Homo-oligomer: A and B are copies of this chain.
Amino acid sequence: MAVYDVSSIVISSRIRLARNLKDFAMPQQIKKDEGFSVLNKVVGSVKGLDDFKVYKIDSLPKEDAFVMQEKHLISLDLLEKKDYGAVILSSDETISIMVNEEDHIREQCFLRGLELEKAYEKLNSVDDKIISSLNIAFDNKLGFLTSCITNLGTGMRASVLMFLPALTLSGEIENITKALSEKGLCTRGVYGEASSFDGFMYQISNGTSLGLTEKEIVGAVKEAVLRICDYENRARKKLLLEREVEITDRVLRAYGILTNCYTLSSSELLRLGGELKMGIALGIIRLKDNGLLDKFATSCMKYNLFKIAGKNLDAEEEGLFRASYVSRMLKNQRIK
């Protein structure tokens, strides 16, 4: 279907599975001692799995927890479950299992590129081992029982992170969002407020997980993603033809600001990084490492930036360090 480079449109794929233990209240209603029992049972279930490590939230330094959160390995909600919350991570960080978040168990596999099937396979084999040793809440009619009804059934959410500057600038994204919604698929802007689309990033995912098999869900999301890739590709060609001066100017100004600014906030980096990424996608500008800007979206967030700096920074130092780091990296990386 697509003959162009999908990698300039699709950033990453994610499969998430929600599971709960039969004999315990859901996390919202759970009591402290029950919470600890769930934690012990889940941790016990992964003992047979190589290459995984357990991090209990109450013994995780705050900075390390936020580093994980910025990498989307854990949620902010989990950080509030101080007593009996935990995350179980694979050493390559592609698989994370949150314990006692919205559900007792939330497994996710995250891969770069359009790799929904592969992510599902990887996560499914881990899931098989986990649930085989636990008494899982499952109903023959409703499937996996979950804390929120939208997750009933397979308990699965398949989502793809897409970079859609041309569909955003042309305004077509609105109609696409509506059309996807009619097919039971969700689109949401990733950065900034719900209503804004800073960074041109969108998450496409299934809205419900009941009444379809896991493979059907993966197939439906993938089919939609490939269709959107086609639309975006066409919109990019049109954009360059019809608005070349305006778009080139936006891209080069973003580069000018990112390589000259004295202080830089993370939200500005995401916005300007999106403009620059558009320039790379359209061939206006070239960097040695095409993935550099995607890496910034994690490495230059507050706590990950502290890791690069080798120390904690106050708000002013953080802005100055981010500006100088991003500027240096981008100048060194530019080819065209």
Chain A interface residues (CB < 8 Å from chain B): 245-246, 248-249, 251-253, 255-263, 316, 319-320, 323
Contacts and interface: CB of A to CB of B under 8 A. Distances in A.
Contacts of A263: 245-246, 248-249
A321 to B, nearest CB: 12
B257 A262 contact: no
Contacts of A316: 245
Given A248-B262, A249-B323, A255-B260, 16 more contacts: A245-B262, A245-B263, A245-B316, A245-B319, A245-B320, A246-B263, A248-B263, A251-B262, A252-B260, A252-B261, A252-B262, A253-B257, A253-B260, A256-B257, A256-B259, A256-B261
A257 B263 CA distance: 15
Contacts of A245: 262-263, 316, 319-320
A92 B73 CA distance: 70
26 contacts: A245-B316, A245-B319, A245-B320, A246-B263, A248-B262, A248-B263, A249-B261, A249-B262, A249-B263, A249-B323, A251-B262, A252-B260, A252-B262, A253-B256, A253-B257, A253-B261, A253-B262, A255-B260, A256-B256, A256-B257, A256-B258, A256-B259, A256-B260, A256-B261, A257-B257, A259-B260
A87 B187 CA distance: 65
A67 B221 CA distance: 61
Contacts of A251: 262
Nearest to A256: B260
A252 B326 CA distance: 14
A265 to B, nearest CB: 11
Cβ-closest 7 pairs across A and B: A256-B260, A256-B256, A249-B262, A248-B262, A252-B260, A249-B263, A252-B262
A328 to B, nearest CB: 14
Contacts of A259: 256, 260
A249 B249 CA distance: 20
A16 to B, nearest CB: 39
Nearest to A251: B262
A245 B256 CA distance: 18
Contacts of A261: 249, 252-253, 256
A323 to B, nearest CB: 8
A261 B246 CA distance: 10
Nearest to A284: B262
A251 B261 CA distance: 9
Contacts of A258: 256
A252 B256 CA distance: 9
A184 to B, nearest CB: 42
A276 to B, nearest CB: 11
Nearest to A248: B262
Contacts of A323: 249
A320 B260 CA distance: 21
Nearest to A244: B262
